[in-house]
């Protein structure tokens, strides 16, 4: 299923403007704008194929500065309308065509959306026409009139707080938005439009970190959160792997199939580059090695694609509250030539680990005809990874 993302950034941030902050989506958080955080979350996600941002026409100069650091997947921006609902429709229309099966709609003011939240929404679309990130209501709810006097306590049973992204089958939500545009009432979110149009929408897990930044106080809290996140210690891991050649017609290196007159022999797909990198990440977090977590004696891993192993290692970093700073892989072989495939390999690794491609380096060298690689008996790979982990880890 091909998946697009629409990031809505056309609002003027009225409450933030009152605090003298300008349009809030361009406020700086940890060295990059709030909008840049949101864009990065989607362009770096391997299951998102393209991203379009809907902006206010007065913000074009600020947007171009924000967007210049992104080259992958990002389409030209679309100018929004007078309301969020109009802006979303304009973003959806800009994607018109047969190429997208589903779309995720996200507020730029939720800069801390995680890969796990995005995954959950996409997974929800397998069975339902809509899926939205959400949190169960934990606070006691009160109803009051204009005088702010409590009239009743509202049961929170079955009540959820809707977040974004909100995902839908593309053609269905486009038709629903077009129909809603003819109605006099404004809908509060895209899911309410979907529900009104009769689409079945499921709830998927959100996060308090994914709450919307609306006020100046929200922004200060977000900055404090980022400052706390920066209290991390660097950990470095290294990995090494080797596989011999066997009869075949291609090798898989760093997630890319390269035509060759032989293949690499192994229990899985024998991707020597991803195996070395998986061990480097596991070493940095002191969590064993690839053979411990995916033993070759287990038949379920026979012929497995090695991105499964690397993605699992990345997940283990996230579970520890850490993040990968950069990774480096060196392929050692006389053949095949790696250079023509280097960019594709770096993009593949970046996608698996949800990293910017600029944080991934893949290079190659020969052993000058010495040793088993020099005799063209196989391929070796070395890898290193720098990871930041909480100091208390």
Give mean pLDDT, residues 31-35: 89
Residue extents of the structural domains in the chain: 3-229, 232-390
**Residue 25 neighbours by CB under 8 Å, 6+ apart:** 9, 11, 13, 33, 34, 35, 38, 59, 108, 109
On the question of pLDDT at 386 being above 60, the answer is: yes
C-alpha dihedral over 87, 90, 91, 93, to 10 degrees?
Answer: 160
Concatenated DSSP letters of 100-113: -SEEEEEETT-TT-
DSSP 8-state assignment for residue 74: B
Phi-psi region of 39 (alpha: psi -120 to 50; beta: other; left: phi over 0): alpha
Q: How many CB atoms lie within 10 A of CB 351?
A: 20
Q: What's the pLDDT score for residue 353?
A: 92
Q: Place domain 3-229 in its CATH homologous superfamily.
A: Spore Coat Polysaccharide Biosynthesis Protein SpsA; Chain A (3.90.550.10)
What confidence tens digit (pLDDT) does each residue in 302-347 have?
888 999 999 999 999 988 888 899 999 999 999 999 999 999 999 9
**Entry pTM:** 0.64
Cis peptide before 165 (omega within 30 of 0): yes
Q: Name the nearest CA neighbour of 255 among 154, 375, 351, 114.
A: 351
Sort 247 into a burial class: Cβ within 10 Å, 0-12 / 13-18 / 19+.
exposed
Give mean pLDDT, residues 129-151: 92
Please list the residues that pair with 257 across neighbouring strands.
Answer: 252
Concatenated DSSP letters of 33-48: EHHHHHHHHHHT-TT-
374 or 390, which is more confident: 374
Q: What's the pLDDT score for residue 393?
A: 37
Q: Which fold is adopted by the domain 232-390? A: 60s Ribosomal Protein L30; Chain: A; (3.30.1330)
Q: What's the pLDDT score for residue 187?
A: 93
Lowest mean pLDDT among 53-57, 95-99, 130-134, 220-224: 95-99
In which residue are the tokens 């958080």 written? 29
What confidence tens digit (pLDDT) does each residue in 253-278 have?
999 999 999 999 988 899 999 999 99
**Averaged pLDDT of the chain:** 91
Question: Contact 190/168 with Cβ under 8 angstroms?
Answer: yes
23 or 116, which is more confident: 116
Q: What's the pLDDT score for residue 15?
A: 53
Q: What's the pLDDT score for residue 302?
A: 86
d(CA 266, CA 336): 18
Lowest mean pLDDT among 49-58, 84-93, 313-322, 376-385: 313-322
Q: Where does the pLDDT of residue 173 fall: very low under 50, low under 70, confident under 90, or very high at 90 and above?
A: very high
Buried b or exposed e, range 205-230, using 16+ CB within 10 angstroms: bbeeebbebebbebbeebeeeeeebe
DSSP 8-state assignment for residue 237: E
Lowest mean pLDDT among 20-24, 39-43, 99-103, 270-274: 20-24
What confidence tens digit (pLDDT) does each residue in 61-71 have?
999 999 988 87
Indicate the pairing of strand 262-264 with strand 150-154: unpaired
């Amino acid at each position: 299923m091909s998946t697009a993302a629409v990031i809505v950034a056309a609002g003027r941030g009225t409450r933030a403007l009152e605090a003298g902050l300008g349009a809030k989506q361009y406020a700086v958080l940890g060295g990059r704008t709030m909008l840049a955080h949101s864009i990065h979350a989607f362009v770096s996600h391997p299951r998102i194929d393209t991203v379009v941002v809907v902006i206010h026409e007065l913000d074009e100069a600020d947007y171009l500065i924000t967007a210049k650091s992104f080259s992958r997947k990002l389409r030209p921006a679309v100018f929004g309308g007078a309301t969020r609902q109009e802006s979303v429709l304009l973003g959806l229309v800009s994607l018109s065509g047969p190429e997208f099966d589903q779309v995720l709609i996200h507020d730029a003011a939720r800069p801390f959306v995680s890969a796990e939240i995005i995954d959950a929404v996409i997974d929800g679309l397998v069975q339902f026409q809509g899926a939205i990130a959400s949190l169960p209501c934990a606070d006691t709810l009160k109803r009051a009139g204009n005088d702010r006097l409590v009239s009743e306590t509202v049961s929170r049973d079955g009540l959820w707080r809707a977040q974004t992204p909100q995902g839908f089958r593309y053609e269905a939500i486009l038709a629903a938005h077009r129909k809603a545009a003819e109605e006099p009432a404004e809908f509060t979110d895209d899911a309410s439009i979907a529900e009104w149009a009769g689409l079945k929408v499921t709830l998927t897990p959100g996060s308090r970190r994914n709450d919307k930044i609306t006020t100046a106080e929200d922004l200060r809290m977000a900055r404090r959160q980022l400052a706390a996140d920066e209290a991390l210690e660097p950990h470095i891991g290294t990995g090494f792997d080797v596989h011999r050649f066997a009869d075949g017609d291609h090798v898989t290196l760093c997630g890319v199939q390269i035509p060759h007159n032989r293949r690499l022999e192994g229990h899985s797909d024998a991707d020597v580059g991803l195996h070395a990198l998986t061990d480097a990440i596991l070493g940095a977090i002191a969590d064993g090695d690839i053979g411990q977590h995916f033993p070759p004696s287990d038949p379920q891993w026979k012929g497995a694609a090695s991105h499964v192993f690397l993605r699992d290692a990345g997940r283990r970093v996230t579970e520890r509250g850490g993040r990968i700073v950069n990774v480096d892989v060196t392929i050692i072989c006389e053949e095949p030539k790696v250079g023509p495939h280097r960019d594709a390999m770096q993009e593949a690794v970046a996608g698996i680990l949800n990293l910017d491609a600029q944080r991934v380096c893949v290079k190659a060298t020969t052993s000058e005809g010495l040793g088993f690689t020099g005799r063209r008996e196989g391929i070796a790979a070395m890898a290193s990874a720098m990871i930041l982990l909480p100091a208390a880890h």
